[in-house]
Amino acid sequence: MGGMVNMKLLKDRIINDGRVIGDSILKVDNFLNHQIDVSLFNEIGKEFKKRFDGVNITKILTIESSGIGLACITAQYFNVPVVFAKKALSINLDSEVYQSKVFSFTKNTLYNVFVSKRYLKQDDNVLIIDDFLANGHAAMGLMDIIGQAGANVAGIGIAIEKKFQEGRKKIMDRGARLESLAIIESMAGGKIVFA
Ligand code: 5GP
């Protein structure tokens, strides 16, 4: 019941403030990707906690930059640290890193992501959190890194899934548990239809 209300909150917001670009990009910079609605993020975090209730989670993993805010607010409900994969090697990063390649849906380019070996260990049970699921490249890259660490993928939590793209299928093929809060069936002609 509570979950239904939370999802309705997010879906209503998508309908009211989301803008469809072409047939497959949803701009939600008014509350998720540029300006951030913290109280909505709190509801999303609570809902992830409900969905993964009873699952052993020791760490939340996301990719910079758009996933970080959501991951941090969600982590408050799980009482675990957040690790975000970095897109550039910098002085803040150790030389010992796990590395994977991710194709960017929004920038149409291939980029590397890095996670220090210090922050993912074999005994970690990792919940992946991200704002969007499109073709699943970000999620696959993060699962690849978790695999390199010998850690376990506890699940994947997504705020907005575009079901008409390939991400869900790829994640199901990997046998990972996927929980998406707002699932969009279609955006053809600019009309958002939820599953
Ligand atoms: P994927 O890797 O699943 O193909 O795409 C997911 C990533 O691309 C997310 O991290 C998200 O930042 C970005 N993304 C994919 N589709 C959209 C979209 O429709 N709108 C926005 N704002 N970001 C998207």
User: Can you read off the two tokens belonging to residue 9?
Assistant: 């909150």
Beta bridge partners of 190: none
Region of residue 114 (left: phi > 0; alpha: psi -120 to 50; beta: else) = beta
**Residues 66, 67, 68, 72, CA torsion sign:** positive
Residue type, 74: T
Distance CA 179, CA 63 (A): 18
Q: Model confidence over 55-109: pLDDT tens digits?
A: 999 999 999 999 999 999 999 999 999 999 999 888 877 779 999 999 998 889 9
CA 58 to ligand 1 centroid distance, Å:
25
- Element at 146 (helix H, strand E): helix 137-148
Spatial CA neighbour of 150 closest among 177, 123, 126, 128:
123
Which pLDDT does position 118 carry in this prediction? 95
Q: How far is the CA of 52 from the centre of ligand 1 (A)?
A: 22
Report whether pLDDT(1) > 70: no
Mean pLDDT of 164-179: 97
Q: How far is the CA of 29 from the centre of ligand 1 (A)?
A: 12
- Residues with beta carbon inside 6 Å of ligand 1? 25-28, 33, 66, 105-106, 130-139, 167
Q: How confident is the model at residue 3 (pLDDT cuts 50, 70, 90)?
A: low
